[in-house]
Amino acid sequence: MERLQKILAQAGVASRRKCEELILSGSVEVNGEKVTTLGVKADPAVDAITVNGKPIKSEKKLYLMMNKVKGVITSAKDPQGRKIVSDFLPGIKERVYPVGRLDYDTEGLLLLTNDGEFANLLTHPSHHVPKTYLATVKGVPHGSALEQLQKGIQLEDGMTAPAEVEYHDVDTEKKEATISITIYEGRNRQVRRMFEAINHKVIRLKRIKFGDLGLQQLGRGKYRHLTPQEVKDLLAAARKTHKVHKK
């Protein structure tokens, strides 16, 4: 839900200030009811909003992917003044928001959209869209520890679902390993906590895939629009729901 004047301004009706005047002058209706005060909120995806009897244009739907860098927060604002993802979207005027979160120090594939339905579908816990990460950890985990992660491991918020886990690279000199892990859930700090549970601290974490979508050649800190086919494929992956995973 957003304030009506903000919705009108985002739909390109006029400036926010001018939209306030339109509301006060009785030109705006929400679901057939005239609104003449400024506190009213609405949801442009659900509510029918008109100005002088004409429906406002719905905002163009945007679907972006970004190769997020470390040290960026996936929120719309940060009271501490840290960098936020929209700082990396030059040329995008629409307000887009991240589909799920990546930690401040996690890098890699982040989807952004202004399509609430798309975002809900892809982040809903019953839709297990696989997400693949490369986790560089301190020490080299034993195969049996990785098997535990694969089968499911007890975290403080319950057992994790089965995951796919493989060695990607082992640096015996530095005593570090990079493990590829595909999870079908999206709990808070899940990958970091899974490795903590086998006593290996994650020192670098990068998401490299969301469903079948990979980062490909997208440079660090860069973004691009998804193709219509990529959007379709992500929706199809989400709609498959948990059936695939529970077989």
Positions marked active-site: 103
Closest separation in Å from C-beta 90 to ligand URA: 24
Residue 148 makes contact with ligand URA by CB under 6 A: no
Residue 191 makes contact with ligand URA by CB under 6 A: yes
Binding mask 45-84 for ligand URA (x = CB under 6 A): ----------------------------------------
Footprint (CB under 6 A) of ligand URA, residues 171-190: 189-190
- Interacting stretch for ligand URA, rule CB under 6 A, among 98-106, 122-130, 144-152, 214-222? 98-106
Residue 205 makes contact with ligand URA by CB under 6 A: yes
DSSP string, the chain: -EEHHHHHHHTTSS-HHHHHHHHHTT-EEETTEE--SS--EE-TTTS-EEETTEEPPPPPP-EEEEEEPSS-B-SS--TT---BGGGG-TT--S--EESS---TTEEEEEEEES-HHHHHHHH-TTS---EEEEEEEES---HHHHHHHHH--EETTEEPPP-EEEEEEEETTTTEEEEEEEES---TTHHHHHHHHTT--EEEEEEEEETTEE-TTPPTT-EEEPPHHHHHHHHHHHHTTTHHHH-
Nearer to ligand URA, 111 or 205 (CB): 205
Closest separation in Å from C-beta 71 to ligand URA: 13
Nearer to ligand URA, 10 or 190 (CB): 190
Tell me which residues touch ligand URA (CB under 6 A): 102-103, 106, 189-192, 205
